[in-house]
Amino acid sequence: MLVPSLNTLIGDIGGTNTRLMYLGSNGDIKRKTYPSQQYSDLITIVQSFIEDYKLSIERASFGVAGPVFDEVKAKVTNLPWHLEAKEFEQKLSISKVKFINDFMAVGYGIELLSDEDYCYIHDNKTTVNNPNAAIIGAGTGLGVAHRVFIEGQYRILTSETGHSGFSPENNQQLDLHAWLLQSISPVSMEMLLSGPGLVNIFRYFSYINYGDNYEQNIADILSLADPAKYISESGLNKVDEVCEQALNCFVDIYASAIGDIALHYYPIEEIYIAGGIAAKIKSKLVTDDFVKHMHNKGKMSENLSRITIKLVEQGDIGLYGALNYIIIQE
């Protein structure tokens, strides 16, 4: 971890968790994770963190899961949080506060990764210096960004691609899409490729297996604090057939979406899969089938096969990036 020249607060602000870390110019480190949904706003969390550890903060950088405007305003997509830098600076006596998109933070965190922080899903052994990349990650939502080397340095171009439309690729996915349209319109990629999205897929397969009264059969699962965790773990361990069907479908859609996003940003040499879900279902992603689904793009399949795919296993990559970004601005 880089040691900043000023006392710095960095944050990874998501719909599920808010992760804060303090890095003192003397090497001191403090960190804590807060359940986001239990708080009415971010500033309350940050104030509690500062008071608990008796910190003096000179600057702060937050990666935010949602749209960011000119680094001074942000909206957390899956929470009713509206963030303004001036409010943080005035109420918390911080000289400089910056907001960046969470996948912009992931992008800036990539250059701080060591070899142990990721694994290869598909290694094309690219020899290109300063390779461009697409970054995608499913968690509470679906994040996407483009990493481009321009004028001697990397730039991270953010997007809200997760809210673009879901494109079914087979009859099963067409049926899933039609079923979801009965209650959700439009059906975005994030409504399938996220924790809540996995639950949506699970509900569909429950309907297929149990019929119109399916909700009675899965009420206990849906009432769990984190039903997506139960579904993914049960699917991985093959202890529940419906969970396994849902997880397999989720993985197929994920692979296809990664291929689509690679084409949107093409030409690129690398894809980084980040987010809170991927590392937890690693055994489903590090497979030939996953790569084949991603490459299944007709005339462009051969082009996609030349792209190296890396699975990020470092859970702090968003924090790394928030720190790296503010240091770059010095």
pLDDT in tens, 13-36: 999 999 999 999 999 999 999 999
pLDDT at 330 > cutoff 80: no
pLDDT at 244 > cutoff 90: yes
* Same structural domain, 307 and 323: no
Of 59, 60, 61, 39, the residue nearest 48 (C-alpha) = 39
Give the confidence band of 247 by pLDDT, cuts at 50, 70, 90. Answer: very high
Residue 257 lies in a domain: yes
Residue-averaged pLDDT of the chain = 95
pLDDT at 56 > cutoff 70: yes
Strand partners of residue 150: 153
Whether 51 contacts 74, CB under 8 Å: no
Check residue 1 and give its pLDDT: 64
Residue 264 lies in a domain: yes
301-322 CB burial, b ≥16 within 10 A, e <16:
eeebeebbbbbbbbebbbbbbb
pLDDT in tens, 30-53: 999 999 999 999 999 999 999 999
* Same structural domain, 78 and 213: no
Check residue 50 and give its pLDDT: 97
Whether 273 contacts 309, CB under 8 Å: yes
CATH number at residue 81: 3.30.420.40
Residue 293's contacts (CB-CB under 8 Å, 6 or more residues apart) are: 251, 252, 255, 256, 259
For the chain, what percent of residues have pLDDT higher than 90? 93
323, amino acid identity: L
Angle (nearest 5°) at CA 160 between 196 and 122: 75
Q: Helix, strand, coil shares of the chain as percentages rounded to 5?
A: 45, 25, 30
pLDDT in tens, 111-160: 999 999 999 999 998 788 999 999 999 999 999 999 999 999 999 999 99
* Same structural domain, 97 and 162: no
* 147 dihedral zone (left: phi>0; alpha: psi -120 to 50; beta): beta
- Structural domain boundaries enclosing 261: 116-313
Residue 230 lies in a domain: yes
* Same structural domain, 87 and 234: no
pLDDT at 4 > cutoff 90: no
* Same structural domain, 321 and 308: no
* Burial of 96 from C-beta contacts in 10 A (0-12 / 13-18 / 19+): middle
Residue 2 lies in a domain: no
Residue 185 lies in a domain: yes
Residue 324 lies in a domain: yes
Check residue 272 and give its pLDDT: 98
* Same structural domain, 309 and 321: no
Strand partners of residue 97: 60
* Same structural domain, 239 and 100: no
Domain count across the chain? 2
Residue 3 lies in a domain: no
* Same structural domain, 96 and 198: no
Which DSSP helix (H) or strand (E) runs through 184?
none
* Same structural domain, 85 and 28: yes
Angle (nearest 5°) at CA 57 between 51 and 58: 160
CATH number at residue 190: 3.40.367.20
Residue 197 lies in a domain: yes
* Same structural domain, 77 and 185: no
* Same structural domain, 190 and 71: no
pLDDT at 191 > cutoff 80: yes
pLDDT at 287 > cutoff 90: yes
* Same structural domain, 252 and 292: yes
Give the confidence band of 329 by pLDDT, cuts at 50, 70, 90. Answer: confident
